[in-house]
Chain A
Amino acid sequence: MAASARLPAGAVSAAPEPPRPAPGFADALRDALYAALITLGLSIPLLALRTEQGPNGLVLEPRWGLVAACCGIVFVGRLLLRLLGLRAVPSRRSMAARGAVTTRAEPERQSGFALSALLGPVFLGIAVTFPLLAYLSAGGLTESRYWVDLGILILTYVMLGWGLNIVVGLAGLLDLGYVAFYAVGAYSYALLATTFSLSFWICLPLAGILAAFWGILLGFPVLRLRGDYLAIVTLAFGEIIRLVLINWVDVTGGGAGISSIPRVTFFGIPFTNDETGFLGWMRWLLGWRDGAQGSLGWLFGPEGPTFSPMHRIIFLYYLILVLALITNLVTLRLRRLPVGRAWEALREDEIACRSLGINTTSTKLTAFAIGAMFGGFAGSFFAVRQGFISPESFNFLESATILAIVVLGGMGSQIGVAIAAVAMVGGPEMLRNLGFLSHVFGSGFDPNEYRFLLFGMGMVLMMIWRPRGLISVREPSVVLRERRAISGSHVKEGHG
């Protein structure tokens, strides 16, 4: 009986951790000194001398103060890091080599498991009430527009992340061209709506189907490719789609894009400020007809409900929320179906899959198709929200952002991807609001300019402390006796 494996989650996390040997102060001091020395060595060529335009040509301006400050920061930082016992998680390989996998992984996976179970409802609650929260905190419908727009943007990336998670996280196929399906979805809606005047609600499934079709089309040539080769071909596929959109001017409008795409309707009722539109419908629903006072008079006053363009934005918010939740629910369900288990098995070991009679070709193609389908849904939502699309919106940076969301979140983890999307998309936006920093760093300081620097630093820190993503534990899809999370150290990333 290995007792530790059978204890309930609470008992494991409550058990006292073996006391870590306190790092000696002398050791820490020596380590910090080394780090400071390295910084000195690095900063002399990088920082110490600066060329300035002098009266007779260039002069060298020494900046020893800056060098000293840098070394000091590194020294103190490193010392604190050592003394507080914060150390990088050893890499999986070195852990396996020392046979320490189970001891280290046990508390981590149990806590991660409980955390993700708790976070789900909290996140859902915030997402559902978000427009209300924004309305209350901003103090008005129009004022809350920025926040609701930001919410829509984040949810779009959550949905894209969840869609890509099927391909990358579950099936382990590294896809660097996911934005192609986003583009296919967006252009499908834009073209169908502008040429055939089809409604959004008909185009939405069509866009998904078309994107899935392109997913299969991409899937066929890359079936035999793995790893780096697969990544390169999918990257090229994304670029090909973008170049076709730019150059096929007759159909796509080229670089100018497609404008005046029909806006979203409330299931057929346009968002307009008249009796035939959303206002009329709202008044009819609440009983404000023919001058009669309807319900909710305390809320609207004697005039009855009025129309605001924000109604459309809030509707868009809930639309993308529902689309994202559908993506999530379908993914969670697929994981428990044979096809989902086959995807994960494919990620773990393709040869073993084949030896069990699984048709790896069709399994890979379904992963591509279903992932692409959700990308297509998101794309058609993007088009209806923007009202204007151009190939500019579908460049490689988008693919990279979506992939970064999936990797940061922890491949295969739904809640992790949602958190990562909030951090990746919402985080940079938040920097815009850090005006108070200019009081600290002087009036010329614009935190926005440091967005990508902070972003990069965040990524590096993530890779050091949580190399397998925010939530790296895997939840089993079927349970015999007791549900236990699987430590990320066992789960493979797939070979492409």
Chain B
Amino acid sequence: MADVAAQAVLTVDHLTMRFGGLVAVSDLSFRCRGGEITALIGPNGAGKTTVFNCITGFYRPTEGMMTLRQPAGATFLLERLPGHEITARAKVARTFQNIRLFTGMTVLENLMVAQHNGLMRASGYTAGGLLGLPGYRRAEKDAVRKAERWLERTGLVDRADDPAGDLPYGDQRRLEIARAMCTDPVLLCLDEPAAGLNPRESHDLNELLLSIRDRDGTSLLLIEHDMSVVMEISDHVVVLDYGVKIADSTPEEVRRDPRVVAAYLGVEDEEVEQVEAEVLT
């Protein structure tokens, strides 16, 4: 793991995103190191989801460069790839703040859709599968097995044949993570995975994320408001406020950083000028 950890999986350089006159993200640079959990935190409206959308190709950044380096050595400039290739080739998967499952399909089908590209190749781009060639049948069986493995890890195997829309909220969150993991990502981006979970579910989620980091060697980048999750599992924290990075270090140091505290809690009136001076320097 040491050589992987030394490298940055994702390097974001001078990322700027403007919507008309509004600067949502301004000159942001940070790195996600391989085999680590990086948390992106900040108050509401700080631009965290915008950063995510830039990384995963839903927005095209106004300026900046995002380099993804796979452990095997291949590098991709994410801002130049079309949206779907960011997952298909560069292997960046994501989940959504408001869960986006295929509610009318079963839990298992959700995980099969996630393995679309591999299955598509195995089915000879539909032609072979239409003729019922054995190669595709084998690939499908493997895909089901892989899905089952993820269902076991997320504790959803009993619900495999139920529609995803029938699952309770916490299960839907875990299913979305399992679905993202079925794309074999190098970097998994989670947009508020613990939102709406009770403490127990949140604890299970921590376990799951740690096991993804340790067992699968997938690096994680997560946006989170739940500080118990952030402080407990992340190796590295980046704090955004109004689109600007105000801190970038270990959880312990971030917790003590006065600018972070000010951004989250606000400050006493008499301290405003002092904090402003700190922030602006």
Contacts and interface: CB of A to CB of B under 8 A. Distances in A.
Interface of A: 5, 101-102, 330, 333-334, 337-339, 341-342, 344-345, 347-349, 351-360, 366, 474, 476-484, 486-487, 490-492
B100 A490 contact: no
Contacts of A338: 112, 115-116, 119-120, 123, 126, 129
Interface in B96-126: 96, 100-106, 108-109, 112-117, 119-120, 123, 126
A480 B84 contact: no
A478 B109 CA distance: 6
Contact of B183 (A344, A356, A359): A356
Q: Do most interface residues of chain B lie in helix, strand or loop, or is the interface mixed?
A: helix
A101 B167 CA distance: 12
Contact of B83 (A5, A354, A483): A354
Given A337-B126, A356-B183, A479 B116 contact: no
B170 interface: no
B130 interface: yes
Q: Closest 7 A-B residue pairs measured CB to CB?
A: A491-B104, A357-B87, A357-B88, A348-B102, A490-B165, A480-B160, A338-B119
A442 to B, nearest CB: 51
Contact of B87 (A341, A355, A480): A355
Contact of B102 (A333, A337, A344): A344
B114 A356 contact: yes
A342 B113 contact: yes
B116 A358 contact: yes
Contacts, number: 144
A490 B162 CA distance: 11
B160 A348 contact: no
A476 B108 contact: yes
A486 to B, nearest CB: 5
Contact of B116 (A333, A348, A357): A357
B245 interface: no
B166 interface: yes
Interface in B172-193: 179-180, 183
A290 B267 CA distance: 111
B71 interface: no
B123 to A, nearest CB: 6
Contacts of A492: 103-104
B160 A352 contact: no
B144 A480 contact: yes
Residue from A101, A339, A356, A486 whose CB has the most chain B CB atoms within 10 Å:
A356
B85 interface: yes
A478 B112 CA distance: 9
Nearest to A349: B100
A476 B165 CA distance: 14
A339 B102 CA distance: 15
Residue from A101, A474, A480, A486 whose CB has the most chain B CB atoms within 10 Å:
A480
Nearest to A347: B104
A484 to B, nearest CB: 5
Nearest to B189: A355
B140 to A, nearest CB: 8
Given A344-B102, A348-B103, A330 B117 contact: no
Contacts of B113: 341-342, 345, 353, 356, 358
A358 B104 contact: no
B56 interface: yes
B94 A355 contact: yes
A483 B119 CA distance: 22
A352 to B, nearest CB: 4
A156 B60 CA distance: 47
Contacts of B89: 357
B100 A476 contact: no
A357 B105 contact: no
23 contacts: A5-B162, A338-B116, A341-B113, A342-B113, A344-B102, A345-B113, A348-B101, A348-B105, A351-B96, A354-B57, A354-B58, A355-B96, A356-B116, A356-B183, A357-B116, A358-B117, A476-B106, A478-B112, A478-B140, A480-B147, A486-B106, A491-B103, A491-B104
B27 interface: no
Given A330-B130, A338-B120, A355-B96, A345 B102 contact: yes
Given A339-B123, A345-B102, 12 more contacts: A337-B130, A338-B112, A338-B119, A349-B102, A351-B100, A352-B102, A354-B83, A357-B89, A357-B117, A479-B161, A483-B161, A490-B104
Nearest to B130: A333
A389 B244 CA distance: 67
B109 A358 contact: no
Contacts of B164: 490
A45 B258 CA distance: 76
Contact of B112 (A341, A357, A482, A491): A341
Contacts of B94: 355
Nearest to B128: A337
B87 A356 contact: yes
Contacts of A476: 105-106, 108-109, 161
B201 interface: no
A342 B116 CA distance: 7
A339 B120 CA distance: 7
B226 interface: no
B210 to A, nearest CB: 23
A98 to B, nearest CB: 16
A356 B179 contact: yes
B148 interface: yes
Given A338-B129, A352-B96, A358-B116, A474 B161 contact: no
Contacts of A482: 161
A55 B113 CA distance: 77
Interface string B146-160: 011001000001001
Contacts of B104: 344, 347-348, 474, 486, 490-492
Nearest to A337: B129
Nearest to B185: A357
B105 to A, nearest CB: 6
B64 interface: no
A480 B108 contact: yes
Given A348-B102, A478-B108, A490-B103, A484 B161 contact: yes
